[in-house]
Amino acid sequence: MRKTTTLAMILAGGRVDELNVLTLYRPKSALPFGSFVRVIDFPLSNLMRSGIERVAILSQYRSYSLINHIGTGAAWDMQGRNRSISILPPYTGSDQHDWYRGSADAVHRNLDFIKYTSPENVLVLSGDHIYKMDYQKILEYHHEKDADLTMVFIRVPLEKAHRFGLAALDDEDGERGGRVIGYWEKPEQPESDWASLTVMLFKPNVLYKFLQENQIQESFEFGRDIIPAMMAAGYRVYGYKFRGYWGYTRTIEEYWQSNMDLLGERPLIDLEAWGLRTNLDHRGIRDFQPTIVGDYAHIENSLIYNGCRIDGTVRNSIISPGVVIEKNSVVENSILFFNSHIGRNCLLSKVVADVDCRFRDGARVGAEPGASASRITVLGQDNTIPAGAFIEQGAVIYPKLSESSWKSTVAGGEVLR
């Protein structure tokens, strides 16, 4: 059977307020994850394994980190005559005067690129979800049903369902999926627990039609506008049921939990088994020397990448390249980004610390000695926490604070700018 051509459009441009200081200088899709990869590596690796080799990334918010990470696309074998990754930022001039105003608007503004590529399928993906998926199975289902749009859904707890786009599916294909007979975007009173993964496969001509018609009505979102319009017009919209792991990273708590799912004897996420690829040239990851574990170190249920020096205790934590943890310090239930330095006699409990943070001797973040934190403390990049300072659990520290901004104690839940 002839292989059909598919263009993947990855929505990777935004930041979310819930991730706070972690996305002040990068889009959410470029967030470090699991010590040395990035969140966008998951959809990119899925595309590589699925044999979809023509990819466009729609990015607009502080794209430098994302552009650096994508590079030439070689890390995902997307270089060649018919293989490529293109980064498509918004532009001004002629008929364009603004940022991308929503997911559908971002795709609409690049219709000329899609038509130039002339694909037989257009796959629209979110760039900030953690999952492993074979998109070829979605393509097979899409063509089998002669669908105009096939969406992928996963079952979520009903008490959390109001946060997502939700669908009601008929029982046409049982466990595989069915026709979408109802769709609601983030309803206050959910009528279904099948949540959209923002994986949408379109017939190109149908996509063109609805994007162009709905732009006239100033309609900018797929979930709020395009999908209901297609259903109202009687187009064939189908849902494919996904039953694997899905990590949603919209909030600090979800981001932290998805990282913790890398740990344990049987982790829910196995980066090696999933065949995850990343750009090892970004931040020179491939050039770090092996991690040095000192005589006084104790490491338990943690993921530590190359380039670290560990002389203290690390428990249930994710440690990125270049991190140093000195003697008599304890790091537990925490995520430390690149090149952070923890001095002696420090305690970090349930902390997410961005790149280049320095903790002077005796600093305590998240909990008192002998206690465990229940709330996450978040530190923005390039901060120096003074010796002996105490940051209570749940505090938020903005990046690059001046020395005069620090206090000996930062209260729980306080935001320090």
User: Is it the case that residue 134 has pLDDT exceeding 90?
Assistant: yes
pLDDT in tens, 73-111: 999 999 887 889 998 887 654 454 466 777 888 898 889
- Return the pLDDT at 217: 59
Q: Lowest-pLDDT range, 22-36, 37-51, 75-89, 334-348? A: 75-89
Best-predicted range by mean pLDDT (62-66, 247-251, 336-340): 336-340
Best-predicted range by mean pLDDT (18-22, 172-176, 325-329): 325-329
Query: Cα(355)–Cα(227) distance, rounded to whole angstroms?
Result: 39
User: Is it the case that residue 2 has pLDDT exceeding 70?
Assistant: no
Q: Can you spell out the DSSP letters for 336-394?
A: E-TT-EE-TT-EEESEEE-TT-EE-TT-EESS-TT---SS-EEE-SS-EEPTT-EE-TT
Query: Cα(395)–Cα(377) distance, rounded to whole angstroms?
Result: 5
- For the whole model, what pTM was predicted? 0.94
Residue located via tokens 């995850």 = 276
The CA-atom distances, in angstroms, between 414 and each of 83, 324, 394 are 48, 27, 7
Q: Quick one: average pLDDT of 60-66?
A: 81
End-to-end CA separation in angstroms for the chain? 59
User: Is it the case that residue 1 has pLDDT exceeding 50?
Assistant: no
Query: Which domains can be identified in the chain, with CATH numbers?
Result: 6-260 (3.90.550.10), 288-416 (2.160.10.10)
